[in-house]
Structure 1
Amino acid sequence: MAHLHSPYTLKGLELKNRIVMAPMCQYSVEAQDGIPNDWHFVHYVSRAVGGTGLIIMEMTDVEPDGRISNRDLGLWSDEHIPAFERIISEVHKYGSKIGIQIAHAGRKAEDAEVPVAPSAIPVTPDWKTPKALSTEEVEELVSKFRDAARRAVAAGVDTIEIHGAHGYLIHQFHSPLCNQREDKYGQDYAAFGVEVIEAMKEEMPADMPLIMRVSAMEYMDGGYEIDHIIEVCRKYKAAGVDLFHVSSGGEGPAGVRKPGNYPGYQVEMARQIKQAIDVPVIAVGLLDEPKLAEATLEDSEIDLIAIGRGMLRDPYWALHAIQATSDQGVPPKQYLRA
């Protein structure tokens, strides 16, 4: 059996294969208005033509100052919906499914005059010191995540991913290094994320799965271990997350412990989360050698594999990987003669 090429169903999401395009910022918005342009259209539709089962559009933010840079995508206005809808509709023509990763950069919002965070702690002394959000401001952000989910659904997405990894705002609330609050959002590291999940689920169709991306561990000295995020994920599953996309790090410069940075170095983290809370998982991290991707699905209890930089190098990675691991990869008819 060719695992990469096998279909996968989760609630109402039916994928033709197990290959996910990981969300990767393009920093290509031209007018700083957060609206996708022709670059984004070609970028995502190319990966659909290339056979990807599920495309997750890049980090798309719930307010202008929630972006890493002013050239990032946003969903803070209904004016954003038509441009996303155009991309999603075209992707569907090639048999791929597509979602949007909804996020807020928090203290890593580099172009914000004053970024915000759970606590007034910068990434490093060289970064801007963020403003600590009040309890009321955190609650307002929950509403902004809700509104972004409504707009994503209106644009026609098949799924939504919440970005709770890589040192951005929701991850900052997870992290004892970043979250030193005394209110309810500091007493429970999952509280903000749970409220976001519950709010977004109210805007999503009942059969649409919700994905949460998490960092399974941190690399700064004193960062949390995987047991910490397993307990956070347990609460997220109860709140309505259907699938976890498991990465690691991103909260700040690595200390004594470094990322593995070898093919498949995060797969074990995804497997541990799956075993601990009995939930489907996406593994990611240097899995772009097709036989390794195939073996990961076969041997590691992994449900889906995500490819990031490999798909930047090759828009047709999915087709080529399926051809390399089975005889079932069929290109678009326009390309058959090649």
Structure 2
Amino acid sequence: MKKEFIICELSAKVGEKKQGFINILNTETKMPVTIINGANEGSTVLITAGVHGGEYPCIKAAIELAKEIDPKKVSGQIIIVHPVNTQGFVGRNAAVVPEDNKNILRVFPGDKNGTISEKIAYVISNELQEKADFYLDIHGGDIHEDLLPHIYYPGLADKSIIEASINMAKSFNVPYYVKSNTTNGTYTSAAIRKNIPSLLIERGGCGLCKEEDVKEYKRDILNVLSVLNVLDCEIKENEFSPREIKEAVYLEALNDGCWTCFVKAGQEIKEGEKLGEVTDYFGNIIDTYYAKFDAVVLYNTVAYSVTKDSSLIAYGRIN
């Protein structure tokens, strides 16, 4: 049991909850954070929401959970950031921090002497992840994306960390969990560099903040906190038994242009099926995309406008 739980400028005694802002190194950027120091001994769980400022359901769910969780029912500690990317949230920006146009999700473990995105990643890595036993980075389809609820787990960490991450994933009410081989993401960096079982969860999208998505997110997080014996609450039975995806394709635009998508998130597709096409501004087809194998669509861009190297579709082979 920690008599006093300290995160940067915030501190909470046993059985206390504290809310406030923490500073990002020598900048004017601040992140809203809630720390809960439980009444009993237990693990520490870190939850970050809003790494991408336009992914609204996860942010609202985090804000509500931070307000509603009773420290007296907590064993251990809970850290909730809501949101991480305040600049992107205020500016309604998709994916990036507007000051440096970088995606925080792609710059971990960060750099204390880098740009603002790299400094945010550095603080999360060295001030927040450093104190965590488990980590949940909660996301959703961005302003321009629709998606099927699913989870990513780290595929390149130690075997025990991968297994613990998969066990957490099975507590969520989603149909698929997907192996990730990235090394510079929020959750993969935590798993690989700090041996923390970690997940990235996706739910919601299209710039909407649907109450049903917020409700499902809260239900999922309460479930996993209960499974980890961090929160005393009833475990809700899941509708899905998640299936594993070990191979996924992430299509990116080869050129700027106008995007038409022929498939939807959650749709099962066949090898060779036409997924979409990009035209120039005169309606001439410049790129056409086909499925490499039978799979399920995890997410797709719904925007008509796309730029070179921007995301179009992700699909995964079902094991």
TM-score by length of 2: 0.32
- Structure (1 or 2) with the greater helix fraction: 1
TM-score, scaled relative to structure 1 = 0.31
